[in-house]
Amino acid sequence: MGPSEPADRGEAVRRWRALLGRSRSRPRPMGVAQPLAPPLVPPPLAPTLVPPPQRVGEMPPPPVQPAAPPLPAALVGTVPIPQALEVIRAHVGRPKAVAFVNPKGGVHKTTATVLAAATLGSVRGGGVLAWDDNELRGTLGLRAGTARHARTIKHLIGDLPGVESAVTSGQPIQDVLENYLRHSSDGSFDVLAGDEDPRVARHLNPDVVQRLMRLLTSAYDIVCVDTGNNVESANWKTVIQQSDRMVVTTLPREDAAFTADWMLDLLEEDGHADLVADAVTVLSCPSPVRSPLLEELVEHFAQRTRAVAVIPYDPALESGSTIAFSKIADATRRAWLDASAALVQGWGR
């Protein structure tokens, strides 16, 4: 740790406290669903460990590393498991689309999309699709499981009129889509993979995105959309307009959280204040050592969105390769159970 890092972290916390004051004064839209369980007070940070004094002539002892403190109790295991399972299994009414959003890269957006789809699909017994709508070489298709074929969204767009005609003529929609979709490694959800060709983005205009959304939501109860990073693209804006709920993914880091906060401001200015207030924020920990910003960020995003979930660090997710839901830690699965319950809460009423 560099000599200036503690001061830098203190300044970051002070900046977030200024944002917290702004958040508390912001009126929230009426009719927003409440969290599944009231938040508890998170535990304080672990005390700094000081090594014993060194005697003359002795080699200096190795630096003592503090043990990773537990995550805030309010955000892991808050909801009783039977209640969370009941909420996730409930009828969602008409099919729903969920946008996973943050214009900054590297904030576990694809990971969150995969794990949310895996949790929802495994608990509900299917009916869930993960759609890689990142315009520039999205990796969801690689991380979600093995590919039975090389077809991607590019091929579905190219064949879209024929696919729509086949469905309209009465062919089973799952049979028609089978040639374009992949399955997750454990079979709990299906995947519409992105394409490496950046020119595919040219074809993702509002009309095509709306047609894709209609097609996919007529085949699945819940469609989880891994969005791109350009908040001004017609594709991104159309997905937001078509979505029933948002999941804001971020890390307990200043740059990632500021970008998420800026995006929420932009969405409110564009008339999506209700969507922002009804969103679920997912804070994924990239390290076993808890960030000193974590509690401040939890408080901040709890003021801006309906629910906040903290996902603990999991070394099984570090490699960036295929995510095997069965291989992640129990604590990670437990946190995603709570997050997924918050994600679907209130649907079907």
| Residue 333 · residue 76 · CB < 8 Å | no
Whether 115 contacts 209, CB under 8 Å? no
pLDDT of residue 18: 62
Structure confidence at residue 325 (pLDDT): 76
CB atoms within 10 A of CB 210: 14
pLDDT of residue 157: 93
Give residue 205's pLDDT: 94
Q: Report which DSSP code applies to 108.
A: S
Digitized pLDDT (tens) for each residue of the chain, 349 residues in all: 444 444 555 565 566 556 655 554 555 444 444 445 433 333 333 333 334 444 455 555 544 444 434 434 344 467 889 999 999 999 999 999 999 999 998 898 999 999 999 999 999 999 999 998 887 665 565 656 665 667 888 899 999 999 999 999 999 999 999 889 988 877 789 999 877 777 788 889 999 999 999 999 999 999 999 998 999 999 999 999 999 999 999 999 999 999 999 999 999 999 999 999 999 999 999 999 889 999 999 999 999 999 999 999 998 887 656 677 778 899 999 999 999 999 999 997 6
DSSP 219-281: T-SEEEEE--S-TTSHHHHHHHHH-SEEEEEE-SSHHHHHHHHHHHHHHHHTT-HHHHHT-EE
**What is residue 193's predicted lDDT score, i.e. its pLDDT?**
85
What is the structure's pLDDT at 2? 45
H helix or E strand, kind and range, residue 183: strand 182-183
pLDDT at 37: 41
Could you tell me the two tokens for 183? 């399955």
Q: 């709508």: which residue's tokens?
A: 133
pLDDT of residue 299: 92
Tokens of 42: 């998170």
CB 138 within 8 A of CB 226: yes
* pLDDT of amino acid 73: 37
Give the pLDDT of residue 316.
83
Task: Please report the pLDDT score of residue 198 as a whole number.
Answer: 78
The predicted model scores a pTM of: 0.81
154: phi then psi, degrees, rounded to nearest 5: -60, -45
Q: Which helix (H) or strand (E) holds 283?
A: strand 280-284
Total residues belonging to the chain: 349
